[in-house]
Amino acid sequence: MSAQMERPAIHVDQSELLCKKGCGFYGNAACQGLCSKCWREENQQSRQKQIQDDWALAARLQKEEEAAYASHQGSQPQPQPQPQPQPQSHSSISPFSKFEDKKTNEKSRKVTTVKKFFSPSARMQPKKDSGHPDTPSPGSSRISAEMDRATHEFIDFLKTLQKPGREIFKQCRAFTESMAYKRDMSAEDQSECVQDFYQNLSDKLHAHYKGATERVELVMDEVEKYMMNRLYEDCFCPETTDDEKKDLVIQKRIRALHWVTINMLAAPVNEEIPAVSDNVVKAITAVIEVDSKRVPREKLTCVTTCSKHIFNAIKITKNEAASADDFLPTLIYIVLKANPPRLHSNIQYITRYSNPGRLMQGEDGYYFTNLCCAVAFIEKLDGKSLNLSQEEFELYMSGQASPQKPLSPSAGGPPSGSGSAMAEQAHQSLDLLTGLGARQEKVLEGARRLERDLIDWCDGVEHGVQDVLERFPLEGGAAAAPAPAPAPADPTAIDSDNVENDKLPAPLQPQLFAR
């Protein structure tokens, strides 16, 4: 292992985990290194700039249209005066008026506040799709049961809040119902709507519970649980994104890196220790369970549980507290071994719809940021990251070689470490078993061939005898019965071996005399 540990371990400075704008909160790769708050501010600024650019374009088009109309009117001969309605100029700019109304509607849609979701105008009747039957899908009953359970738990919790609880439930239900009609919106727009609702409700709760920050966080956790249980099918891996495609790319990438060992990552974990192995298995199980949860907070809890098992495994191995430099390589190893399903979609879902305060600080935010770093490292992993040459890396990726079996000297393979003897012996045993299997297959094939030859020989002899009997039939037209075989000599006769028995007189025959 000393040869493997000579290279520096995978290191990420703590400052690299923070938001790039220096706000002090944790950032993540899904937000381009920004925290969720700064990411939303950047998006809002870019949208405001886009709106201003659109208005500038509209003003320029209006001037050009007015100039074109004026030149067109000047080039035409003056008609005889006829009574006409006076607002000719108004009718000339009516196309722009429609364009202006359209831009106004577009602007008000982009800067929609939470109040619009609660207005009666937002509660339109859904359009019925005639192409889909009203019969529920096979899994609809299970989903409906989960939603009902989440609703009952949310109502029971709000009962403890009394009057504020009734208002919170009313707003949450109205918002979730309005989101059901916005499935065609982009994932970013849906996320912004949800985050705006979180912010608006959080501000109201802070104003009501002055100084009770923990109580507000508890209420917001329950609000998130209720809302995302109802919006999960529409918000997780929506069709408007390429999340599913990226899930397959990451899954294929991790599957191709199955050969990466824990020594290559310089992770201080000894799986030969039973307690360490048990924590590694629990960490793998926890990160796989992320996909089975519906609420972002529950998914984050699975990430935190996985991380704590990793810290326990490192602590048992080193007999001391684990550091951040030890944690990230081990987390990468766990992700490679687990290959969690829909990893990219789960990260995006947490980023878009989790309570922003949970991602920006605290242990959940720290562990989630490290998970994003681990995924980014896996996506960019190359031979240099593992202290391998490019040729060795390509051989391992193609499956032509394996770290468990050292490469030949001509291939420039790395020397085996201190623990390679057992691996080499196991590999030799596998080679021996493979050879025995090939030999057994050859023997079985020879036996099957001999069996076919015997059957063919018997058939040939039988056909030959029949052919001879047909050409040379026996007298009488029928085959005579074969002569009986001579009876074997009685082995108990005393003179059975005497060759001169034929010269002896005939034996005396018993005679019957009259009485």
Q: What does the pLDDT read at residue 123?
A: 42
Looking from the CA of 10 toward its CB, the CA atoms found within 13 Å total 26
The answer to whether residues 256 and 282 touch, using CB atoms and an 8 Å cutoff, is: no
Radius of gyration over every alpha carbon of the chain, rounded to an integer in angstroms:
43
Q: Which residues of 420-458 are buried (b: 16+ CB within 10 A; e: fewer)?
A: beebeeeeeeeeeeeeeeeeeeeeeeeeeeeeeeeeeee
Q: Residue 372 class from Cβ within 10 Å (0-12 exposed, 13-18 middle, 19+ buried)?
A: buried
Distance between CA atoms of residues 350 and 54, nearest Å: 33
Write down the residue that tokens 């028995």 correspond to.
Answer: 501
Could you tell me which of 210, 241, 239, 205 has the C-alpha nearest to residue 222? 205
CB 313 within 8 Å of CB 359: no
Alpha helices in 6-136 (DSSP H): 36-75, 88-92, 94-110, 114-118
pLDDT digits (tens, 9 = 90+) for 150-190: 899 999 999 988 788 889 999 999 999 998 888 888 999 99
Listed as ranges, residues in the chain with pLDDT below 50 are: 1-8, 87-96, 110-111, 113-134, 408-419, 478-479
Predicted confidence at residue 220, as pLDDT, reads 93
User: pTM of the predicted model, to two decimals?
Assistant: 0.59
CA distance 287 to 241: 23
Q: Can you spell out the DSSP letters for 446-480? A: HHHHHHHHHHHHHHHHHHHHHHHHHHSPPGGGSPP
Nearest 5 degrees, angle CA 236-CA 242-CA 245?
100
- DSSP code, position 404: T
Residue ranges and CATH numbers for the domains of the chain are 143-235 (1.10.246.120), 242-398 (1.20.1050.80)
